[in-house]
Amino acid sequence: MTDSPETGLERDQPADPAVTMVLLDRVRRGDGDAVNGLLERHRAAIRRMIDLRMDRVVQRRVDASDIVQDVLLEANRRLGDYLANPTMPFGLWLRHMARDRLIDAHRRHRVAGSRSLDREVPLVTAGRGDDSQLDLADCLADRELTPAAAATWRELERRFAAAVEQLDEADRQIVLLRHFEHLSTAEAADVLGLSKPAAGMRYLRAMRRLRSMLEGSA
């Protein structure tokens, strides 16, 4: 699968739901080229999700790019079933498959097998070390900044990422979904099994806590 000029989207930008709907309609009409465009539009979002969710210990054995490719190949195989019964937005359907792949990877490499990865000394605690904070900060990087401005911005990113890491799990999840995976409130609500108002309130609560933490560290 390669980027199609028809998608009109850079890899590191979130997919436009309106364009996704157009591509889905073209796929229904038998346009084979639209399938590649549809899946490639969501590659960056799936990679973002996997990078943020994959256990740091498992990352040492599993290439995130391989999981992304597996998800897109599975989506290609199951696309007809989705089109026959689209019970959720296409992006969320892909996220569910990506989540299942991550669970499988965790089961294979952390739980199963005669040699547990937990016996190995991890470079950082899963999802909570400095590397995790840097990974989150990198998601916000602006490559157009001057070197001096980029240094200042990166320090702000580090502080923000460190604050996110200190949130409780519920608040951390909603911030990751909204800010790092670029989901809407409605989409985040679907992922978390919440109503849209409940997701909105959780997000506001999390952002208030983040603001308080950042002001306290200034």
| Tens digits of residue pLDDT in 73-129 | 999 999 999 999 887 788 888 988 998 888 888 777 655 543 444 444 333 333 434
Percent of the chain, pLDDT > 70? 74
Nearest CA to 213 among 161, 174, 178?
161
Q: Residue 140: what pLDDT?
A: 46
- Least confident segment among 2-16, 18-32, 141-155: 2-16
Q: What is the mean pLDDT of residues 159-180?
A: 82
Give per-residue burial for 65-102: e unless 16+ CB within 10 Å, then b. eebbeebbeebeeebeebeeeeeebbbebbbebbeebb
Q: Residue 218: what pLDDT?
A: 59
Instruction: Enumerate domains of the chain plus CATH numbers.
Output: 17-119 (1.10.1740.10), 130-217 (1.10.10.10)
pTM of this structure: 0.57
Q: Residue 62: what pLDDT?
A: 82
Helix runs in the chain, H state only: 17-28, 32-41, 43-53, 56-59, 64-84, 90-106, 130-138, 147-166, 169-175, 185-192, 196-217
- For residues 182 and 208, what is the distance between their CA atoms, to the nearest angstrom? 19
Contact 213, 163 (CB under 8 A): yes
- For residues 87 and 93, what is the distance between their CA atoms, to the nearest angstrom? 9
Q: Which two tokens stand for residue 197?
A: 């108002």
Q: What is the mean pLDDT of residues 116-144?
A: 42
- For residues 165 and 175, what is the distance between their CA atoms, to the nearest angstrom? 10
- Least confident segment among 127-131, 136-140, 178-182: 127-131
Q: What is the DSSP letter of 119?
A: G
Q: Which two tokens stand for residue 153?
A: 């911005």
Q: Which amino acid is at 109?
A: H
Average pLDDT, the chain: 75
- Least confident segment among 106-110, 136-140, 210-214: 136-140
